Structure 1
Amino acid sequence: MSTTITQAAVMIVAGALATLFIFAVASEAVSGAPFILAHKKVSLTKLSSGTERVSVTIDVYNQGSGTAYDVTLTDDSWDQGVFYFVTGNTSKSWEKVHAGSAVSHSFELESGKKMTYYGSPSRITYRVASKSKLQEAYSTPILPLEILSEKVGEAKLGLVKFTVKIWIPYFCGAYCGTLC
């Protein structure tokens, strides 16, 4: 019986703390503070040279009601033993990002190693006008990247091409009297 009461008390306290946290975040957004959200997107392109190009774009949004100052984006999760830079770099700074606006940063890498790569979120630091301490935000994580792997769609397409190469000449030779 006392265990049930203790668990109920813990749940009530946890619920109250969660509610306080939500109100604190909401009041911060209403009070003229910036609220930074970032979305990290990655696309892969196989190249004829036997490498794979990795295109990275990070969109940074200020969803708050105040301006974010000294905004710095850093994305150092790319292992230099696996990837080499083609264009751009992994960091970018902006003097300010106004409320309701967005900025974006892109760069490209290449890799010649076949592997599954697990990247981490990008880090964004910014300053709020009313606070001296830098604030931190993180981008969305990316899904594991299958570098130089055979894609399921490509494998199925290869099977279809192979089947068509065998079947069409047989069909045309047997039924049409000519080879297509």
Structure 2
Amino acid sequence: MNHSTMAIQIEKFLIFLVISVFFVSSSTLANSDVPFIVAHKKATLTRLKAGVEQVSVSIDIYNQGSATAYDVSLTDNSWSEDIFDIVTGNTSMSWERLDADSLLSHSFVLEAKVKEVFYGAPAVITFRVPTKAALQEAYSTPILPLDILADRPPEKKFDWVSLSQRLLAKYGSLISVISIVVLFVYLVATPSKSSGSKKKR
């Protein structure tokens, strides 16, 4: 196992551990009369053409508590302007409230400018609870490292020419025999039909 594969497996384990802690904590705090924010951040790479790759980012914010969170704000400033350009949407968003057992979603699209392995930080969510003066803060799950503009082998397209060549090489003799038989039957049947029609006249 090489170092890159081991690093990816460690990253996956850490993300799984963070998510597990979030959900265990949420089940514990769900009975208390406070909002409990859990956010899941996901990023997907899409290769448009050579040298052009986009990153689609989506963040889902859940309130798994039993009370409403007010003045909810999302900030995801981990996308450096030296590496990414914003194509659509914004890396920040705000909402008036997030009720208990409700979900808010936000997404945006970036275009990568630099070839590198990118490690994104969790998004930050702040919200207000009426019983507390200070703003409350929560973090999204992290994302796996993004191998931006990585060299990938071209996808193999279905080659009808090579397929026909392989079929001819494998079944060529059988196809020839069948063709000869069909041609022989056709030649035998054709004169009999023509002669039959002449007799009727």
Report the TM-score when normalising by structure 1.
0.72
- Residue among 151, 160, 165 paired with 1:169: 165
Equivalent residue number for residue 93 of structure 1:
94
Equivalent residue number for residue 57 of structure 1:
58
Which letter does structure 1 place at the counterpart of 2:135? L
Higher alpha-carbon Rg: 2
Q: Secondary structure at the match of 1:69?
A: strand
Shift of 1:61: 0.2
Q: Secondary structure at the match of 1:103?
A: strand
Equivalent residue number for residue 194 of structure 2:
none
Shift of 1:94: 0.5
Structure 2 counterparts to residues 54-133 of structure 1, below 5 A: 54-133=55-134
Structure 2 counterparts to residues 20-35 of structure 1, below 5 A: 26=28, 29-35=30-36
The answer (yes or no) to whether the contact 2:32–2:65 under 8 Å persists in 1 is no
Shift of 1:73: 0.4
Give CA-to-partner distance per residue, 1:156-179, whole Å, 9 cap, x none.
x54x869x876753663686389x
Shift of 1:69: 0.5
Shift of 1:32: 1.4
Alpha-carbon distance in 1 for matches of 2:86, 2:172: 55
Alpha-carbon distance in 1 for matches of 2:115, 2:162: 31
Which letter does structure 1 place at the counterpart of 2:165? P
Which letter does structure 2 place at the counterpart of 1:75? D
Aligned Cα RMSD in Å? 2.9
Shift of 1:129: 1.2
Q: Secondary structure at the match of 2:105?
A: strand
Structure 2 counterparts to residues 32-47 of structure 1, below 5 A: 32-47=33-48
Q: Secondary structure at the match of 2:131?
A: coil
In the alignment, structure 1 segments of 5+ residues that lack a partner are 1-21
Give CA-to-partner distance per residue, 1:55-82, whole Å, 9 cap, x none.
0000000000000011100000001111
Q: Secondary structure at the match of 1:99?
A: coil
User: Structure 2 vs 1, CA of residues 170 and 98 (structure 1 numbering), >3 Å: closer, same or farther?
Assistant: closer
In the alignment, structure 2 segments of 5+ residues that lack a partner are 1-23, 176-201
